[in-house]
Amino acid sequence: MTVAWTPPALPPLDPALAARLRALVDGKAKPPGALGRIEDLAVQIGLIQNRPDPRVDRAAVLVFAGDHGLNEEGVSPYPSAVTAAMVGLFLSGRASVNAFAAAIGADVRVIDVGVAADLPGHPALTVAKVRVGTRNAAREPAMSETECAAALQAGFDAAQAAVRGGAEAVALGEMGIGNTAAASLVLHRLGPAPLADCVGAGAGHDAEGIARKAAVLARAAARSDAVEPFDVLRQFGGYEIAAIAGAALGAAALRAPVVVDGFIAGAGVLAAARMVPELAGFCVFAHRSAERGHALMLEALGARPLLDLGLRLGEGTGAVLAIPLLRAAARLVTDVADLSEVVGSP
């Protein structure tokens, strides 16, 4: 297969700087290791940003939106029209992600890469629509190669614009009715993991709905034997999932920490990490979702999430909640006194 999108090379992470950052953190006015994983996070942020004085004062929250032809098969209890309605709610500033972002002083930008509706213009909306929803992946590839590449590029461009605009970290979220189904298929192939272990309740299925969803996804999986990340995205993914993959690589290429939300955002990052394995070092995994399959996804990525709050909403909510931890970790390096200032030099 000819891959229609070439992922970027990521900048190397400097082991000498890692050692310097670790020494800085260990030398603060506290016992070594007393702040646990916050210390590791401080080192990681400095390493990603390639500076001994990391900063995460400004964070961009990017919510990618797209619809799924697979929803024709009843993989969600909600109709696809809810995607556009929720995008409208984001733009009104009244969704959960907006409330959480306001609480930490961040702005939300929505990127329409495949909503099956014409959205009115708004200052917080970027229109990068590839198509009005993917095709039905149970019957045919969700996207063409050209469409998948366009979605990857849209995400890449959005993240790069955010970082060039001053964002010191990029939080990734999504909206798309039916996208837990697409994410389940991505995990199944790229984990890899048994399909039955990847299928959960999504937006609220009961046991009968989960069984129906599993049967549809089994048909979709049987339709294609794709295992390469680009091909898996175009066969089974969504425009917003592909855009998240591109966004993760776009932010990392400019040395911005990538703050990954839950199951669906994780599917995009999993695809990107299978393209460029070095990406994992640039990612901070915000939380462990309550969605079935997310634990397997985190395991496939070798990830340790910061939070475990039983979240399963998406939108980027978990990623936004993790931003204060990144800010605190960075300030550990820059704002906390050295131990020598307290006890004197030996």
Task: List active site positions.
Answer: 315
Q: How far apart are CA 167 and CA 259, in angstroms?
A: 12
Q: How far apart are CA 335 and CA 185, in angstroms?
A: 45
Q: Which distant-in-sequence residues (6+ apart) come within 8 Å of 103 by Cβ?
A: none
Q: What is the dihedral of CA 303, 305, 311, 316, to 10 degrees?
A: -80
Nearest to 230 by CA among 278, 176, 270: 270
Which strand (E) or helix (H) includes residue 99? helix 96-104
Return the number of other C-beta atoms located less than 10 Å from residue 277's C-beta: 11
Q: How far apart are CA 55 and CA 290, in angstroms?
A: 30
Phi and psi at residue 288, to the nearest 5°: -95, 115
Token readout for 159 is 């993240």
Which strand (E) or helix (H) includes residue 125? strand 125-127
DSSP string, 297-326: HHHHHT---SB-S-----TTHHHHHHHHHH
CB of 160 closer than 8 Å to CB of 61: no
Q: How far apart are CA 246 and CA 157, in angstroms?
A: 8
